[in-house]
Amino acid sequence: MGVTVPVRTLAAWLWLLAATAWIAGCDARLTEPRLGAYRAVLELPGGEMPFGLEITRERDRYALYLSNGEERTRIDEVQLTERELIAQLSNGAEAPFENSTSLASGNPPADFANTGAQHQHAAGRTAGGDRTLRVVMRRKRLDGQLIVIQPDGARQRIPFRATLGETHRFYVKSSTDNADVSGHWAMTFTNGDGRAMPALAMLVQSHDHVTGNIETSDEYQSVDGQVHGDELRLASFTGGTARLYHLKVNQAGDLQGEFWQDLQRHEQIDARRAADATLDDG
């Protein structure tokens, strides 16, 4: 004697099987990456540090492009092995910035305000040690970690993920009522021991998009991010050191907040507008 299965029950089971197969297909590992633009994220202790990532195939070889605002860094050392993508981002000591006195002298680089310019360079060498990106390739995303080998041999593993087709930096929806953070700023970084380090910042703002440079006595970095109301988020990553800023405009019009670098460095930041500030003022 046969067993009669209600039509509704059969339809529900068929729907469940189809949904399970679809989900499995979306999450299945791929043997090759999907080409295109991704929104990539490194998870630092302060939260998401986003940057742009593009995967291309050129002359039968894969290449990565990392985007930090107007900067684009090309990564050529890309390998596929056991359904993983492995990219060597940097190795060794970072070359000094050629125009490192530009903010201290009160003059930004000649093309600083040219938001249409695109600066492209090969992956450099960073004082943070060897950096290797290892990711699993899926249908619309990449999952993995950035492995940082310090000069003393210690390893950091920074969680990484990237989503194909996403384009926002920090905030999905832009705010139309934002603080004005453009201009010159005298900044102070203070670590957990109370040691203070002066810095200069030059920021350019267009609607909610903010780009600029931050300079200390021994470092010059480009930053890019968003202002959302009175909150400012900035990031800096071109394959070397990962930096994240969470700042807020207070009632006096100054900037206050926190700074994270990779997984170890965490400092407080205070900044005030100062068009004629120099690093010696700190």
The maximal CA–CA distance of the chain, rounded, in angstroms, is 94
81 contacts: CB under 8 Å, gap ≥ 6: none
Question: What whole-number percentage of the chain has pLDDT above 90?
Answer: 62
Q: Residue 117 — very low, low, confident or very high, per pLDDT cuts 50/70/90?
A: very low
Residue indicated by tokens 């700042």: 247
φ and ψ at residue 181, rounded to 5 degrees: -115, 10
| pTM summary value | 0.79
**Predicted pLDDT of residue 14:** 56
Q: Residue 152 — very low, low, confident or very high, per pLDDT cuts 50/70/90?
A: confident
Mind listing the pLDDT tens digit for each residue in 178-189? 999 999 999 999
Q: Residue 27 — very low, low, confident or very high, per pLDDT cuts 50/70/90?
A: low
| HEC per residue, 36-92 | EEEEEEEEECCEEEEEEEEEEEECCEEEEEEEECCEEEEECCEEEECCEEEEEEECC
137 contacts: CB under 8 Å, gap ≥ 6: 29, 30, 31, 32, 33, 34, 83, 84, 85
Q: What is the DSSP letter of 11?
A: H
pLDDT at residue 120 greater than cutoff 50: no
**Domain range annotation of the chain:** 36-164, 183-281
Q: Residue 70 — very low, low, confident or very high, per pLDDT cuts 50/70/90?
A: confident
Same fold across 36-164 and 183-281: yes
In this structure, are strands 71-75 and 119-122 parallel, antiparallel, or unpaired? parallel
**Predicted pLDDT of residue 2:** 55
pLDDT at residue 110 greater than cutoff 60: no
- CATH class of the structural domain 183-281: mainly beta
Helix, strand, or coil here: 16?
helix
Higher pLDDT, 227 or 14: 227
256 contacts: CB under 8 Å, gap ≥ 6: 247, 248, 250, 268, 269, 270, 271
Higher pLDDT, 60 or 233: 233
Residues facing residue 225 across a β-bridge: 210, 234
Mind listing the pLDDT tens digit for each residue in 159-210? 999 999 999 999 999 888 999 999 999 999 999 999 999 999 999 999 999 9
**Predicted pLDDT of residue 170:** 95
Superfamily of domain covering 36-164 = Quinohemoprotein amine dehydrogenase alpha subunit, domain 2 (2.40.128.120)
